[in-house]
Structures are given as structure tokens and as C-alpha cells.
């Protein structure tokens, strides 16, 4: 845990005064409450958008709990992200109907166009590619969720327009 705190990247929220204050505030407000780990992580995720490994180590140290406990919560719930996300997210449904209907081809197209992998963000911080589970729109498979908007019956040849729209 100590080495994680020593190797904090320059752009980590712990190095940004305002964001560090947000983390400290979440800890101070919740440290004596039952379920403090979950409460702090929830608040930090909601306000900063992710909980990096160094943030997890910091929170564990401040709450005086094992790092494994904090890390366990972060990895168990998909709600928690460990890296900052882009301004926009494109999520690919990996439910069976969408998978069979061609989501893998859409993922390949997006990776080629943006030159990033699933789970990564473009260098300009604009777009993050993610996978998701069934969003309940199987009749429109294959489905992609752009920010919070469900886009169905997508074909690889139409997909570039969606990406260009998000970029503009
Ligand atoms: S499997 Fe994709 S919406 Fe259900």
C-alpha cells in the first residue's frame, strides 16, 4: 500500500487539491458510520468518476482497513471504475442476443477507428469504450449505448456515423 501511495501518477485526483479535498471530505463524513468503506467509495466514485488504485490505498489507510477490503469492493461492483472515463462513453452490449447479432464486429470497428481497446479512453479524453450486460432491448440487437442513449439495430457500416457524431 505504501508503494502505491509513493507512485501516484501526476494526474491522479490525490494530486489535485480540489479532488483530494473531495476524498478527504468523504472520509471525514463517513469514517465512523457502519459500512464506511462502501459509503466513501460511493461518494468518491459519484463525485470524481473513478477510484484509482492509489485512491483505494489512501482510503484504506485513512479508514484503517486492509487495502484488500477496499479493492475487493471496487472490483466486485461494476459501478466502480478504476480509471478516469472520457467525456462520452460507448458501451457495447455483450448479452447473447447482441453478441450473436454482431456486437463483436461493432467493437472491432470502434477499436480500429479510435485506436484504443475496450476499457480505454481516447488520448483526448473524449471517448471511452466499454462493454455492458443486456440492457433489456434484445429485440433491437445489436445494441450500443452511447452515453445513456440506447442505439439498436446497428450495422458496422452505420457505426462510423455514430462515432463521428459523438466526436463532434
Ligand atoms: S442482449 Fe443486448 S440488449 Fe439484451
| Average pLDDT score over residue span 37-42 | 97
- In the reported structure, the alpha carbon of residue 161 is separated from the centroid of ligand 1 by a whole-number distance in angstroms of 22
Q: What does the pLDDT read at residue 73?
A: 96
* pLDDT tens track for 3-29: 666 667 667 888 888 999 999 999 999
Ligand 1 atom showing the smallest separation from residue 97 Cα: 1
Contacts of 130 (CB under 8 A, 6+ apart): 85, 89, 90, 91, 92, 118, 119
The string of pLDDT tens digits covering residues 157-166 is 888 888 888 8
* Lowest-confidence pick of 15-19, 98-102, 107-111, 151-155: 15-19
Hey, which of 92, 98, 146 would you mutate to test ligand 1's pocket, going by the most ligand atoms within 8 Å of its Cβ? Answer: 98
Specify the pLDDT at position 42: 96
Greater confidence, 117 or 4? Answer: 117
Report how far residue 120's alpha carbon sits from residue 111's, in angstroms, rounded to the nearest whole number: 10
The minimum-distance atom of ligand 1 relative to the CA of 95 is 1
- The pLDDT value recorded for residue 16 is 82
Q: Does domain 88-167 have CATH number 3.40.50.720?
A: no
> Ligand 1 atom 1: the closest Cα is on which residue?
95
Ligand 1: which of 91, 92, 97 to mutate, judged by most atoms within 8 Å of the beta carbon? 97
Q: Where are the domains of the chain?
A: 2-76, 88-167
Averaged pLDDT of the chain: 91
- Output the ligand 1 site: residues, CB below 6 A: 93, 95-98, 134-138, 141, 143
Contact in structure between 34 and 27 (CB atoms under 8 Å): no
Residue 111 in 3-state DSSP? helix
Q: Averaging pLDDT over each range in 59-68, 84-93, 115-124, which range is the top one?
A: 59-68
Residue whose CB lies within 8 A of the most ligand 1 atoms, among 130, 142, 143, for a mutation test: 143
When pLDDT is averaged across residues 71-82 and rounded to a whole number, the result is 91
Rounded CA-CA distance 101/116 in Å is 23
How far, in Å, is the centroid of ligand 1 from the Cα of 86? 23
Distance 76 CA to ligand 1 centre (A): 22
162 in Cβ contact with 144 (< 8 Å):
yes
Amino acid at each position: 500500500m505504501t508503494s502505491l501511495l509513493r507512485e501516484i501518477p501526476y494526474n491522479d485526483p490525490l494530486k489535485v487539491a480540489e479532488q483530494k479535498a473531495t476524498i478527504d471530505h468523504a472520509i471525514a463524513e463517513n469514517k465512523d458510520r457502519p459500512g464506511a468503506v462502501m459509503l466513501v467509495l460511493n461518494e468518491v466514485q459519484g463525485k470524481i468518476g473513478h477510484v484509482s488504485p492509489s485512491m483505494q490505498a489512501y482510503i484504506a489507510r485513512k479508514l484503517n482497513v486492509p487495502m484488500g477490503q477496499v479493492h475487493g469492493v471496487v472490483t466486485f461492483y461494476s459501478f466502480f471504475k478504476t480509471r478516469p472515463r472520457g467525456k462520452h462513453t460507448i458501451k457495447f452490449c455483450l448479452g447473447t442476443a447482441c453478441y450473436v447479432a454482431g456486437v463483436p464486429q461493432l467493437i472491432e470497428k470502434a477499436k480500429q477507428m479510435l485506436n484504443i481497446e475496450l476499457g480505454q479512453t481516447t488520448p483526448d479524453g473524449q471517448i471511452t469504450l466499454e462493454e455492458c450486460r443486456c440492457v433489456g432491448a434484445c429485440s433491437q440487437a445489436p445494441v450500443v449505448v452511447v452515453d445513456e442513449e440506447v442505439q439498436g439495430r446497428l450495422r458496422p457500416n452505420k457505426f462510423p456515423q455514430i462515432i463521428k457524431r459523438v466526436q463532434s
